[in-house]
Chains A and B, each alone.
Chain A
Amino acid sequence: MKEFTYTVEDPNGIHARPAGKLATFAKQFVSQIRVLGNGTEADAKRLLSLMRLGATRGALLTFRIEGDDEDAAASALESFCTTQWGDGSGL
């Protein structure tokens, strides 16, 4: 099992578009990917599940990844969170 944490930076929280981007991205992995936060948990491959987390700005999320490709999935997801969700401008 692999695990990492991420603090939500999007001012509007994990609303529909960021949740959609994450679900699409997570689906490429076979591992089970759970996102824990706000005292509940979500399936990272499911849009509504992620939206129901109610993760607003500043929420601390724990990603728990378990399965055959957990190493690759964990590092890819972590970079996804920082580059696709964060400012990512690279400047």
Chain B
Amino acid sequence: MTSSSSNLMLSGIGIGTRKIAGPLHFYRPRVTPLPTASHTADSRAQELRLQNALTQAREQIALLHRRALAEVGQTEAQIFEIHAMLLEDEDLTEAIAAALANGASAEQAVESAAKGVAADLEALGDPYLSGRAADVRDVAERILLNLSGSHGESATKAPDRPYILVARDLTPSQTMSLEKEKLLGFVTLEGTPNSHTSILARAMGIPALVGVGQLDEHYDGSFALLDAAHGTLTLSPDEGRRAEFQRLVEQENEIAREHDRYLRTLLNKPAVTRSGRRILIYANVGDEAEAESAMVNGADGIGLLRSEFLYLSLDRYPTEEELTAAYDAMVCKMQGKRIVIRTLDVGADKRIAYFDLPEEPNPALGFRAVRLCLAREGLFKTQLRAILRASAKGTISIMLPMIVSVEEVRRCRDLLEECKEELSREQIPFDSKIEFGIMVETPAAAIMSRELAEEVDFFSVGTNDLTQYTLAIDRQNPKVAPLGEKNGEAVLRLIELSAAAIHARGGWIGVCGEMAADLRLTQRLLDMGVDELSVSPPYLLGVREKVTECK
């Protein structure tokens, strides 16, 4: 291979879809030879060196974690929570301690322990789990670097103009630490699409090509074209290729800018159908991070707040104060937009240890949700009081799950009225006109929707449970789950029935199950009179776009 051969094409696995063009820059890590056992024979001294290196590593990983939280989001940032856990993992620390006891240097001990664990993971044969060996090596390299007193900088200086980085492989830490200012993208000779490095690159929006195999170092500094969508790298392209590629890049950029501009214009605009009907696009939210994501994606409100989150994070019942504070935080985050809080939905299918619930043969048909709340009034009233207190500061609606009868709704309303009276007596402010509604997720609720509509302000259809109960299919059972896809019509008819009933009483109806995000059904749902669609935050803009295209 000579540098004069042009248009040589390498293939790999593309991360992202973008095309980039620029000079290659080879990353060459400084190699520090491992000290041998005699570095200091004293195992106590080695232990101390190791402890210092571990302390540094803890701080460095915490820093990367904070950076990842800010730059790539909570899910991807968990990669560094895993690194922090690996650092403390007994399988690793015990192997290191054993090697030290046998007279190894701290470096040798870390190296051999990590090698053993990484080899075990690679031997599993599963591509996803084997990929985690890279994380073990990343953590081990970090400890080794700290032991050597070096900072892992490249032996070659990064160019001061935009470049494509080339490395044998990059660890997740290195990926997170990349200086993004001049970096166009990267190419790794090794690596897999499922590695944490690839996941981070995707989340950071850095185009990359992994697993290209071989790339001769004499290409360092030469121009190349990286096409992530097609997984190719063209080395030393001639003028014609460069011009053609550049034209495609500009075309792609224009399309991306156009679509992005369009979606951004939708963000702060009400979702109005072509016939002029305003539809509320709400988010399903389970915790504060999701609420944040809902706001970023322009949610009109929260259509389903799964209020279990606080209960799940504790090992005892939360107090009224704790619940109020959590709901206040949501109100604050949503800047006054409506929040529909679903009251506690736990039971044998979603158990919490301290609730001390017995096992049941049919948890989906068992003692759960409002059934449990009505049997444990104290627990229920604590939550209702907290919701009422938070309603003084924002727009909150209460929504009851798993309703099958008018009687249940009345009993819940009585308890709510009791809470209101108590708060009034205690002179604690709340919204006396707080909206009160139910989930329609049992066939009974849909069939009785005319009577139920007289009791409440709104309905919200939980299509996942409604499908399960209507079609008698367990959606966790892959043998029957496809029946749900085929027989959605039965469920749609129940929604239609409920919509007519609540509209006749002047109330509104939303849909908060998976059907709400199914763009093939949007028009149908709107035709039935659905007023609100509540979906998980990543689907918000897509649903908003779809609604504006509907009649």
Interface, chain A (partner B; CB < 8 A): 9, 12-13, 15-17, 20, 23-24, 28, 43, 46-49, 51-52, 54, 56, 72, 75-76, 78-79, 82-84, 86-91
Contacts and interface: CB of A to CB of B under 8 A. Distances in A.
A88 B350 contact: yes
Which 6 pairs show the lowest CB-CB distances between chains A and B? A79-B351, A76-B353, A54-B124, A91-B464, A48-B91, A91-B462
Nearest to B131: A15
A79 B352 contact: yes
B512 A16 contact: no
B340 to A, nearest CB: 13
A90 B345 contact: yes
A90 B306 contact: yes
Given A13-B128, A90-B308, A91-B441, A20 B351 contact: no
B350 A91 contact: no
Interface of B: 78-79, 81-82, 85-86, 89-92, 117, 120-121, 124-126, 128-129, 132, 135-136, 194, 196, 284, 304, 306, 308, 312, 315, 345, 349-353, 356-357, 359, 401, 441, 462-465, 475-476, 512-514
Contacts of B194: 12
Nearest to B315: A28
A52 B121 contact: yes
25 contacts: A9-B476, A13-B129, A16-B79, A16-B135, A17-B78, A28-B315, A46-B90, A47-B82, A47-B89, A48-B86, A48-B117, A52-B117, A52-B120, A72-B353, A75-B359, A79-B350, A82-B350, A82-B351, A83-B312, A86-B476, A87-B475, A89-B306, A91-B441, A91-B465, A91-B514
Given A51-B121, A82-B351, 8 more contacts: A13-B128, A20-B78, A20-B85, A46-B89, A46-B91, A49-B90, A51-B129, A54-B124
A83 B368 CA distance: 14
Contacts of B512: 91
A48 B89 contact: yes
Contacts of A82: 349-351
A15 B401 CA distance: 33
Contacts of B90: 43, 46, 49
Contact of A75 (B132, B136, B353): B353
Contacts of B464: 89, 91
B86 A47 contact: yes
B429 to A, nearest CB: 31
Given A46-B90, A49-B91, A15 B132 contact: yes
Contacts of B462: 91
Contacts of A75: 351, 353, 356-357, 359
A8 to B, nearest CB: 12
A52 B124 contact: yes
Most buried by A among B79, B86, B132: B132
B128 A20 contact: no
A58 to B, nearest CB: 9
Contacts of A90: 306, 308, 345, 350, 401
Nearest to A91: B464
Contacts of B120: 52
B158 to A, nearest CB: 30
Contacts of B125: 54
A9 B478 CA distance: 11
A44 to B, nearest CB: 12
Contacts of A48: 86, 89, 91-92, 117, 136
A75 B346 CA distance: 14
A77 B78 CA distance: 21
Contact of B463 (A9, A12, A43, A91): A91
Contacts of B86: 47-48
B132 A51 contact: yes
A12 B351 CA distance: 24
A88 B124 CA distance: 28
Contacts of A72: 353
A70 to B, nearest CB: 12
A9 B306 CA distance: 22
Contacts of A20: 78, 81-82, 85
A8 B357 CA distance: 23
Nearest to B467: A91
Most buried by A among B351, B401, B512: B351
A9 B120 CA distance: 23
Contacts of B513: 91
Most buried by B among A9, A48, A84: A48
A18 to B, nearest CB: 10
Contacts of A24: 85
Contacts of B463: 91
B345 to A, nearest CB: 5
Given A87-B476, A91-B514, A54 B129 contact: yes
A46 B293 CA distance: 32
A17 B312 contact: no
Most buried by A among B79, B129, B136: B129
A16 B351 contact: no
Contacts of A17: 78, 82
